[in-house]
Amino acid sequence: MKTLGIDPRVDLRNWILLGGAGLLLIAVLLGVSTGAVRVDIGEIIDTFRWSADVGENYQIIYNIRIPRVLVGALVGMNLALAGVILQGVLRNPLADPGIIGVTAGAGLAAMAVLILWPEQTFLVPSVAFVGALAATGLVFLLSWQDGINPLRLILAGVAVAAFFGGGMSALMVFHSDKVQGTVNWMAGGFQGRSWEHVRMILPYTVVGVSGAMFCSRYLNLLNLGDEAAKGLGVPVERVRFALIVLAALLAASAVSVAGLLGFVGLIVPHLTRLIIGSDSEYLTPCAAVFGATLVVLADTAARLIFRPVEIPVGVLMAFLGAPFFLYLLRKGVRK
């Protein structure tokens, strides 16, 4: 991030990033403090300070709400960055991990482990990554025609997502006695998430976020077009492949702990781009922060709207994301 005071646009983008970080902090505190049992800020601070007098809500704060909020924030970061990368690489505003089939591929692989080998849950992130990468490769193979055609890409993504979705349905039919534990996972949510899930997703998030920040300038160069990027010395095909692998890693890690949570990778990059522009050096960190904020706030709302009944956050995101997707579709058709 550039220093303040050099360029008004740079100043504005830096302040937006700082404001987003502040909003994320508020969302985290709200997510930890609200629920069936309300806790005050003092108890949260005492928990972080490892105070001996943390009160009777210590277990609720430390073992239930903090890991849940952290998992939500990390999932939001990963899905938002996956959307930024895919939209930049493909130069397609409708590209996101769900629409082009990445989420479905990761979901089928993860569900196979959860149903067929439930004792091997530690393999879920790795297997989901392989599934996401396989789905991505299949979509590219089906949509390639002297380059990437956006329309063919969307159609191939829909077909691949439907194919892997059929695979998930088949698993549910043939193993109906084991699907109860996967219902909430399929809807997308964070109920019951613990520190084990934080440890599961955190390494993938660190690698993915670091890679996205490092590759942000390559996204800017790819946005100029393949010929212009090659003229500037960019190995376009290798960079594109590496970025797609990175997006698959981010999406797969999110799916492995949150289930089939859609539309985050579509909504957040668009809203962030409207606020700060298309410069990936700023778009990438801001999208990560806004993605984490959106998911944490949505999860908190999903816990509170029908209290004491909790709805999966994936259901709420679908109600928010579907109208936004239709808006983008109509806007694109008009253009």
CB atoms within 10 A of CB 166: 12
Confidence of residue 4 (pLDDT cuts 50, 70, 90): very low
Contact 81, 209 (CB under 8 A): yes
Query: Does residue 73 contact residue 80 with C-beta atoms inside 8 Å?
Result: no
* Structural domains in the chain, sorted by start: 8-334 (1.10.3470.10)
| Model confidence, pTM | 0.85
Task: Say what the alpha-carbon torsion angle 87, 152, 261, 257 is, to the nearest 10 degrees.
Answer: -80
**Are 86 and 157 within 8 A, CB to CB?**
no
| Cα–chain center distance at 273 | 16
- Among 85, 97, 100, smallest CA distance to 239 is for 85
- pLDDT of res. 333: 45
What does the pLDDT look like over 233-277, one tens digit per residue? Answer: 888 778 888 888 888 888 888 887 888 887 888 889 988 988 888
- Give the helix, strand, coil percentages of the chain, each rounded to 5: 80, 0, 20
> In the prediction, which pLDDT does 53 show?
54
The Cβ-side half-sphere exposure at 240, using a 13 Å CA radius, reads: 19
Amino acid 297 reads L
DSSP track, 308-331: TS---HHHHHHHHHHHHHHHHHHH
Do residues 264 and 76 touch, judged by C-beta distance below 8 A? yes
What percentage of residues in the chain have a pLDDT greater than 70?
A: 89
Average pLDDT of the chain is 82
> Could you give the CA distance from residue 3 to residue 16 in angstroms, rounded to a whole number?
14
